[in-house]
Chains A and B, each alone.
Chain A
Amino acid sequence: MRSWIVVSALLVLAGCSIFLYKTVGLNYPLRAADVAGTWRAELVVNVTGDDDKRVVIDALLPRDSGYQRLLSEAVRSGPMRFSISEDGQSRQGRWSGNLARSTNLSYQVTFDAFEYRWDLPVAEERDADAYPRRPRSLLDPSPGIQSDDPAIAELVAELDLDPSDKVKLTRDIFAFVSREIGAMRTVGAMDAVSVVREGRGNAMGRANLFCALARHVTLPCIVVPGIPLEDGTYDTLHYWNEVYVGGGWVPVDTVEGLIERIPAKHFALSSGDFDTAVRGENTASLSFRFDVQSELAAFVDVMRRRLTESNNLIDRLSLLFLPLHVQQTLRILLLVPLGALTMSILRSMIGLRTFGTFMPMLIALSLTATGLWWGTAFLFVVVLLALLSRIWIQRFYLLLVARVAFILTLVVILMVSLLLIGDRLDIPTTGLRAFPFVIMTMIVERISVSLEEEGWRNTLSRIVTTLISIYVTYVVVQASVLQTFLLVYPEFLIVILGLLIAVGKYTGYRLTELFRFSELAAPKGA
């Protein structure tokens, strides 16, 4: 009769046992020791070979520097061989081998990121010959940095740059490139001379121009490619410079307008002699991307290193071994049961009436992609406009499927318009793609049916409770601590199963019923 209690308890117990075994038996860390600044980046290269020719892929790799300290590296080479070559400031990885079909290569690194700071001295005068060997070698022109080009010479003359004081030079060139050279959003290689010709340039072009000007006036300079330190996927790089002044490399970012110090906003690759992060020979096709993910804790990395050495089955089954982009999907997937548990508690125990059972949860999940405020704004605009149209087309008595499809199309049009407007007004709309448009369509349909059947007062109260559910679920699912926790301890999904059985067997009053039936609870006078 009460067998559900046994099943529920067993499930909770099973999940907790695995958890306890991990924490007590295997010494898994319990707390996500919150060391901000630990990141994980994965370079994923998709390459297709060209007939039987030997394929060579070169990639710029990060190295220990003022920007970062590497903690661990791992490589996936498929059928190819991998080697790393280091030379001064350059660090490159090379995959080589025969490749008949296409394959995915990957280089994964965890690191701590730091703010990099090197202050300019008050003044410095130095001849080309007075530099140490390596900085001196960075005075020569190179592809993209045509410091010997007449156009650069002309510009230097026009700017009236004085080659004697290197500090003033640095500041002058920085001021010129960051203020006078306009921005461009184009993706792709851009050399210094074409930036001079255009009068504007993308990040790479401006860094190249800065470098060419500096080298022309005998100031050793390099271009540093990097990737933004923000959770996401990137296939274009950011570029900034370093100049050798005061016995060290002073960072200069003409795009962000930063000099002497660069906050830990980018992850630096070593500079190389080619102008993208990845270069291929004998490839039929080649594409790459960086998956970047912040780690709440060095904790995950520590665990990862520990786990790779372990032969324990539980260790080997850890989700942390999956590739980064799979883990990013998992982070959301693992939250779904948690959101579902929240929804069932809100509905069965609190008694909130919402539009759709799991709609609020799906909306909450998409809010994690858009951000709370913009997400709410998008939701309101789309639902309100679609709802008004839905009420308007009511007069035609369209057949159900056609009617819903009509609203669906309208929702898509609204989303496209928002993306367009957002792009023009620089509103962050990237997360909008994650919006569940089918769900929104169903919400519009439900609201309009409810308006007709239950009147606007009931509908409004139901909209409010739906919003409450969305936000409560959002608070639960957006916590990145929980995401990491579930990634390390996925056995809590089994615990959730047990809890769901318990919630499903809850036959007590819903919180809202205490108000609904409060008249019946009042003491009887008669």
Chain B
Amino acid sequence: MSQWVLKGIRTGIKTTAYPRDAERAAGVTPGLPVGGEFSAEAAAALVDRCPVQALSRTDGSVSVDYRRCVHCHRCVRGVEPPLDWETTYEWAATRRPQNEFGPAFSRSIHIVVVDAGDCGACLNEVKQLNNPYYNMHRLGFFITPTPRHADVLLVVGPVTDHMRVALQKTYDAMPTPKRVVAVGACALSGGVFAESFVCEKGLADVLPVDVEVPGHPPPPLAILHGLLVAVGRKPPASLVSTPSAVKTNPAEP
């Protein structure tokens, strides 16, 4: 067993400095498109290019609805001029005013994760939160297998018809105060599965959602930001990017 101890010591500390400082390593986030000003035809071409209708325009102003963006990159690849792209990760937004969670929860919450039809990527990013790079235990966040001990319900995936009962039971089994965090474009808007007859168009149609984290999948840092927003340790961001919107993401590289 000593070989493991020595290896662990030799590996050193890998944990990210977030949320104290920004994380600047490459590859930690896919980033998101940013709304911008274009000529009318260019704007129209961009809006047509998006396969999930995440872009909308008024004349030449193109706005991005992050609820829908599925990271197909077609608005930046294969089109001229492309949209601007930002590589931040603090994307979570709130949907309801956060009255219930008091300071008692800010450094200790238990999360129950329900996979309601997720493709595997969002769930994999959630699982990365426990690896040494992100280590969410240091922030007081724990994943619990039973809803009876949980404060936060984290849902990934478009809510499939077969999982409705299980999801509802999980929510009902949680004691108050509780929060619901919807993670990923599929949970926010149904993603590419929204038109399927067995999928919902977003978790908000099924449960009262408190925090929404866009992305497809959102990187672990974005999910971490979402949890920090849920406990009030970080301010929320906006889910719509318009050209005139003031940037509210402080952690910009």
Binding between chains A and B:
no
Residues of B near any A CB (own CB < 8 A): none
